[in-house]
């Protein structure tokens, strides 16, 4: 993202709106500027703010006059008065940032937008997580911190060494050079994204192993990791997963419940 200095009036509304805190008003020029290394190209500022399209010179004159008398205007916090936010055409590898950060951009590997995974949400149709299995969604960077792909690479390599299976239809998996080791391609490791989700699958008996692996490697990453664990329920709607997670000391009360209304219903081999 780029902020046009000819149009920016330094109102600072976009500063608070930035998901990564990558925008600041330059005290010398009184214009907002984007820290390009921290910007993840999520387009939150560009898309989320309404635009007034006012003439910058007029707005600057009014703001200057108000400042003279120490008046402070109390504008709507989500409005850019002059439409100064300007998207730039992105080239590889910077385009990776937007693919993972902007929820409206479909990812090539999945056809779904943003981090783009179906997880257990379509498990009734896909049979992605079968009876006796556990599916993990390991999410990096959210909320509000973002993540370098180098940090994700550290974790995927640790998971690969632990012998898990990476979900093939997942955007992060599509960036791996080796889905056995979990190695991510070198040319994008310094890119920062708003968040990314790694999906792996194991048998229910290995739930503790995977969580232990994540815990052990998490000291080496400069972001936060959120974890979701999924399982197929039995005919009564129960699953062994509850007891396994509780035995590992986890408390959980929120999640997604798939109601099994998708068609054609996946038929598991008996």
Q: Which is nearer to another protein, 61 or 91 (CB)?
A: 61
- Interface with another protein includes 38 (CB under 8 A)? no
CB of 7 to another protein, least distance (A): 15
Q: Nearest CA to 214 among 260, 148, 164, 258?
A: 164
8, 56 in Cβ contact below 8 A? yes
What is the footprint of another protein within residues 183-202 (CB under 8 A)?
A: 194-195, 197
Site track for another protein across 210-229, x = CB under 8 A: ----xx--x--xxxxxxxxx
Residues with Cβ < 8 Å from 133, sequence gap 6 or more?
Answer: 201, 202, 203, 204, 231, 232
CB of 189 to another protein, least distance (A): 18
Site track for another protein across 8-37, x = CB under 8 A: -------xxxxxxx----------------
Task: Please identify which residue in 37, 53, 69, 267 interacts with another protein, judged by CB under 8 A.
Answer: 53
CB of 235 to another protein, least distance (A): 7
Residues with Cβ < 8 Å from 119, sequence gap 6 or more?
Answer: 128, 135, 137, 199, 228, 230, 256
CB of 157 to another protein, least distance (A): 16
Q: Which is nearer to another protein, 97 or 178 (CB)?
A: 97
β-bridge mates for residue 148, sequence order: 192
What is the footprint of another protein within residues 64-93 (CB under 8 A)?
A: 74-79
Distance CA 51, CA 180 (A): 48
Q: Nearest CA to 105 among 185, 14, 40, 183?
A: 40
What is the footprint of another protein within residues 228-267 (CB under 8 A)?
A: 228-233, 235-237, 239, 241-242, 245, 250, 252-264
DSSP structure class, residue 176 = E
Q: Which is nearer to another protein, 66 or 180 (CB)?
A: 66
Angle at 234 between CA 228 and CA 237, to 5 degrees: 70
79, 50 in Cβ contact below 8 A? yes
What is the footprint of another protein within residues 96-125 (CB under 8 A)?
A: 101, 103-104, 111-125
């Amino acid at each position: 993202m780029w902020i046009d200095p000819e149009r920016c009036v330094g109102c600072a509304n976009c500063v608070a709106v930035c998901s990564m805190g990558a925008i600041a008003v330059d005290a010398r020029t009184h214009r907002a500027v984007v820290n390009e290394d921290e910007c993840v190209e999520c387009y939150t500022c560009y898309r989320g703010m309404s635009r007034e399209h006012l003439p910058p010179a007029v707005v600057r004159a009014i703001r200057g006059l108000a400042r003279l008398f120490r008046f402070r205007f109390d504008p709507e916090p989500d409005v850019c008065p002059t439409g100064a936010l300007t998207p730039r055409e992105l080239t590889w590898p910077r385009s990776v940032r937007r693919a993972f950060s902007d929820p409206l951009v479909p990812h090539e590997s999945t056809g779904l937008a943003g981090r783009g995974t179906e997880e257990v949400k379509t498990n009734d149709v896909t049979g992605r997580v079968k009876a006796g299995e556990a599916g993990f969604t390991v999410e990096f960077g959210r909320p509000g911190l973002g993540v370098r792909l180098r940090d994700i690479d550290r974790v995927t390599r640790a998971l690969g060494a632990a012998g898990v299976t990476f979900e093939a239809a997942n955007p992060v998996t599509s960036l791996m050079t080796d889905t056995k080791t979990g190695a991510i391609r070198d040319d994008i490791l310094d890119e920062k994204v708003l968040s990314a989700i790694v999906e792996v699958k194991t048998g229910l008996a290995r739930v503790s192993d995977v969580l232990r692996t994540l815990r052990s490697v998490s000291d080496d990453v400069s972001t936060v990791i959120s974890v979701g664990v999924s399982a197929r329920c039995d005919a009564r709607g129960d699953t062994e997963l509850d007891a396994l997670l509780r035995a590992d000391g986890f408390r959980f009360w929120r999640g997604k419940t798939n109601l099994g209304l998708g068609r054609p219903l996946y038929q598991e081999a008996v």
